[in-house]
Structures are given as structure tokens and as C-alpha cells.
């Protein structure tokens, strides 16, 4: 009616009628951004870096950090530029000495068989890559040509050395070895020795060992100091228990690394109801060691958000003894089973140990399984004797 009278535009009326008044006008809270991805990459973007020249002070590391296409392009351009530069130098020497248009009775040329820039470019390639076809060579007529020959050889060796070093470092980088160091997809919290423990499983797929392997764990969350300072990524180290002592591990077979949630743990007040994707909690696990075959230090990382922590579950055993040796079934690496666990924080469990005793009694009084007794075969109501057949 209002649109017909021209008071309200018709487009506005149709737009308002198309809206659902029952639909909420707010968006659901997004999942917390990871600080470290599951594959170990740091989710940090560096912006507004003004001092870009600092990267050129360490050219070798910059070349190693570049992607393969960029690295190969830089080395290709380095070779082409050096060949062209020294080709120009050889052409100028031949031009100044009069070797490009020789006449009868002229002196011996500085470089034989150079008549144009193309021949000078071919000679530059032959000198730098030491091909030596034999058609062109430097004579003792020009000392400057001998000096250019020495300089070009030195420059070519330097480019080759830098190229080979970068290719070796890029192919033997530490994160390549970390691809075979695996972590369980989920972490679990369950009872162990009467205490709530945060547990995860780590393994190595290769037979070559990681020497001096150590493991560290940190809790990253947003905190606010008593003075009002907001720390967006507050990192707190928490100790790990691995059965060997300290942070060192002997990673021959998959191990379950656990952290006892006690009064000194940042997870002391963590409740099962808080394990959802809205919770501001991330646990970072870092495994570091020396590769046995190459001697290079490698590091593998992963992280667990709150919704990736399973409460009241435990990892299934995957190591078994077969034919006089231990075998590992990696198909069950991340499998878990449910176990009786109190649905309370570690603080509440320490303050009221009766929760643990009640849980023990409940698990002991679990429902008994009825044993199925096989039914006896029913006897036939009549039988046929041989005499009746006769």
C-alpha cells in the first residue's frame, strides 16, 4: 500500500519482505586461528618490513629460502649475464687489436677464430664451462686477454660453487627428514597412575634413527596481565614425561608422551566442557634431533587445538612381539578407546579424591556379561527303525 502511494520505494519493500525476521543477525564465532599448523608450518605473516636490505647481507640463506623456480631462474640469469659480459670483453679485445678484420701481414691475434660477437660469445661459454672445442684459444700476444681468462675462470667457479651449495642445502633441508616423523592426529586426556594426564603419540617411519631426540611442549593462548597488557600469544612451557627422564627420548618405536596435569600445569583448570573450537587454547609439540645419516639437525612440529583433544580416551597398543622381534602396526597409530575418566578438572580431582574412588567402584561394578549357553539340539518326536521299513 505504501509503495503504491509512492511513500516507500518498491525495491525497499521487496527487500524487507525477503528477509527472515526469525533469522539471527549475528555470525557464529570463527574457529581459533592456528599458530602452528598440523604439518608444522608457522601461521605467521610478516608485513611492513622496512629494512629489506638485511636479507641481502645473507645472500646464501636468501637463495636457499627461495622457491625452486626462483632459485633456478636466478642461476640461469647469472650464467647468461656472465657469458654475455665476458663475451663483450673478448669482442672489445679483438676489436681493439684489429682481429675482427685481419689483413695480410698483421700480427698474431689475441684470440684465434674470433670474427664477430657470436664467435666471442661461443668462446666465452667455452672458457667458463671448460669445454675446449679446440677452434679458438688465447695466444700470448695480449696480456690483457690472459688476465680476462683468469678472471672469467674465477667467476665461473664461484657461480658453480654457490649453485651446487644451494642445491645441496635445498635438497637436504631439515624439514625433508621431518616428513617421516609423525604425530597422532588427536591428543587425549585420561587417568594414568591416578592422575589426569595429557597424552599424545609420536613415531618415526624410517629405520635410521634420530640421535639425541628431545621433545618440548608449549601452551599458547591469549592472556592479559594484571596491569592490563594483552599478550596475544603467551607461550608457557610444560614438562613432558616419557619414561626415559627429562625431555630426551629413544625413538625406535612409537612412544606415548604424556604430561601430568598437576598444580604447576597450565591445564590444571581445564574442564571437559571447554574442549570446543571456541576455546582459546593451542598446545604446540616440538620434536628435535640429529639425523643419523646426514648429521643435520631436524625439527618436527605439530599443534592441538581444544577440539582436537579427546577427554576420557586412551591410545590402543600398536607394538607386539612376533617371531622374536617387535612389530609396529601403524594402521592403528591414532586409534583410541574410551576409558573411565572423571568429568572434572585436575584441581577438582585433587581437592576431592572421592571422585576417583567413586569412578573405581563404578568401573568395578560394571554390568556383567551374560554367558551365552548353547541350546541343546531338540530330540525328534519319533524315529524310524529299520524294522518299520520292512
- Residue corresponding to grid cell 591414532: 334
DSSP 26: S
Q: From the DSSP assignment, how many helices (H) and strands (E) are in the chain?
A: 9, 13
Q: Which residues contact 82 (CB under 8 A, 6 or more apart)?
A: 128, 152, 155, 156, 159
pLDDT digits (tens, 9 = 90+) for 329-349: 999 999 999 998 988 889 988
State yes or no: pLDDT of 308 exceeds 80: yes
Q: What pLDDT is recorded for position 11? A: 45
Q: According to CATH, what is the number of the domain 53-172? A: 1.10.287.70
Residue scoring higher pLDDT (3 or 277): 277
pLDDT digits (tens, 9 = 90+) for 251-267: 888 999 999 999 889 99
Q: What is the mean pLDDT of the chain?
A: 81
Q: What pLDDT is recorded for position 168? A: 86
Asked which of 63-77, 101-115, 205-219 is least confident by mean pLDDT, the reply is 101-115
Residue scoring higher pLDDT (72 or 105): 72
Asked which of 159-163, 177-181, 331-335, 354-358 is least confident by mean pLDDT, the reply is 354-358
CA distance 273 to 305: 14
Q: What pLDDT is recorded for position 4? A: 46
State yes or no: pLDDT of 389 exceeds 80: no
pLDDT digits (tens, 9 = 90+) for 39-59: 888 888 888 887 777 777 788
**Helix (H, G, I), strand (E, B), or coil: what is residue 368?**
coil
What are the residue ranges spanned by the domains of the chain? 53-172, 177-362
Q: What pLDDT is recorded for position 232? A: 85
Q: What pLDDT is recorded for position 245? A: 53
Q: Which residues contact 125 (CB under 8 A, 6 or more apart)?
A: 83, 131
Q: Which of 212, 222, 382, 239 is nearest to 298 (CA)?
A: 212
Burial class (CB in 10 A: 0-12, 13-18, 19+), 91: buried
State yes or no: pLDDT of 221 exceeds 90: no
**Helix (H, G, I), strand (E, B), or coil: what is residue 159?**
helix
Q: Which of 289, 204, 220 is nearest to 252 (CA)?
A: 204
State yes or no: pLDDT of 72 exceeds 80: yes
Phi/psi-derived region of residue 73, left when phi > 0, alpha when psi is between -120 and 50, beta in every other case: alpha
326, 340 Cβ separation under 8 angstroms:
no
What are phi and psi for residue 54, nearest 5 degrees? -65, -30
Q: Which residues contact 281 (CB under 8 A, 6 or more apart)?
A: 32, 219, 221, 270, 274, 305, 306
CATH architecture of the domain 177-362 equals Sandwich (2.60)
What's the alpha-carbon Rg for the chain, to the nearest Å? 38
Q: What pLDDT is recorded for position 65? A: 85
Q: What pLDDT is recorded for position 292? A: 86
The runs of H, that is alpha helices, within 3-100 are 10-18, 59-65, 68-97
Q: What pLDDT is recorded for position 17? A: 37
Mean pLDDT of 131-140: 82
CA distance 219 to 267: 9
Mean pLDDT of 356-365: 65
Per-residue HEC secondary structure of 261-312 comes to CCCCCCCCCCCHHHCCCCCCCEEEEEEEEEECCCCCEEEEEEEEEHHHEEEC
Residue scoring higher pLDDT (241 or 95): 95
Amino acid at each position: 500500500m505504501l509503495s503504491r502511494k509512492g511513500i516507500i520505494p518498491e525495491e525497499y519493500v521487496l527487500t524487507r519482505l525477503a528477509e527472515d525476521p526469525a533469522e539471527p543477525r549475528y555470525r557464529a564465532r570463527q574457529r581459533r586461528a592456528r599458530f602452528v599448523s598440523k604439518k608444522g608450518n608457522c601461521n605467521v605473516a610478516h608485513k611492513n618490513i622496512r629494512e629489506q636490505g638485511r636479507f641481502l647481507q645473507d645472500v646464501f640463506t636468501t637463495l636457499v629460502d627461495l622457491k625452486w623456480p626462483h632459485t633456478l631462474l636466478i642461476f640461469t640469469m647469472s650464467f647468461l649475464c656472465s657469458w654475455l659480459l665476458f663475451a663483450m670483453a673478448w669482442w672489445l679485445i679483438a676489436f681493439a687489436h684489429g682481429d675482427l678484420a685481419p689483413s695480410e701481414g698483421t700480427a698474431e691475434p689475441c684470440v684465434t677464430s674470433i670474427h664477430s660477437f657470436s664467435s666471442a660469445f661461443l668462446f666465452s661459454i667455452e672458457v667458463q664451462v671448460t669445454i675446449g672445442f679446440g677452434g679458438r684459444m688465447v695466444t700470448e700476444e695480449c696480456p690483457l686477454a690472459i688476465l680476462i681468462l683468469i678472471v672469467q675462470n674465477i667467476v665461473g667457479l664461484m657461480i658453480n660453487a654457490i649453485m651446487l651449495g644451494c642445491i645441496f642445502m635445498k635438497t637436504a633441508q631439515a624439514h625433508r627428514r621431518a616428513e617421516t616423523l609423525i604425530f597422532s592426529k588427536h591428543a587425549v586426556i585420561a587417568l594414568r597412575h591416578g592422575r589426569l594426564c595429557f597424552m599424545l603419540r609420536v613415531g618415526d617411519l624410517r629405520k635410521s634413527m634420530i640421535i639425541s631426540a628431545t621433545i618440548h611442549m608449549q601452551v599458547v593462548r591469549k592472556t592479559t596481565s594484571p596491569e592490563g597488557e594483552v599478550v596475544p600469544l603467551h607461550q608457557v612451557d610444560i614438562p613432558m614425561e616419557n619414561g626415559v627422564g627429562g625431555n630426551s627420548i629413544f625413538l625406535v618405536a612409537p612412544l606415548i608422551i604424556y604430561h601430568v596435569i598437576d598444580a604447576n600445569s597450565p591445564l590444571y583448570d581445564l574442564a571437559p566442557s571447554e574442549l570446543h573450537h571456541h576455546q582459546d587454547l593451542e598446545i604446540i609439540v616440538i620434536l628435535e634431533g640429529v639425523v643419523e645419516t646426514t648429521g643435520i639437525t631436524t625439527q618436527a612440529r605439530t599443534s592441538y587445538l581444544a577440539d582436537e583433544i579427546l577427554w576420557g580416551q586412551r591410545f590402543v597398543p600398536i607394538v607386539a612381539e612376533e617371531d622374536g622381534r617387535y612389530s609396529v602396526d601403524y594402521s592403528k597409530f591414532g586409534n583410541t578407546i574410551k576409558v573411565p575418566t572423571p568429568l572434572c578438572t585436575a584441581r577438582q580431582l585433587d581437592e576431592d579424591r572421592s571422585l576417583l574412588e567413586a569412578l573405581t567402584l563404578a568401573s568395578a561394578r560394571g554390568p556383567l556379561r551374560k554367558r551365552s549357553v548353547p541350546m541343546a539340539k531338540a530330540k525328534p518326536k519319533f524315529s524310524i527303525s529299520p524294522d518299520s521299513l520292512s
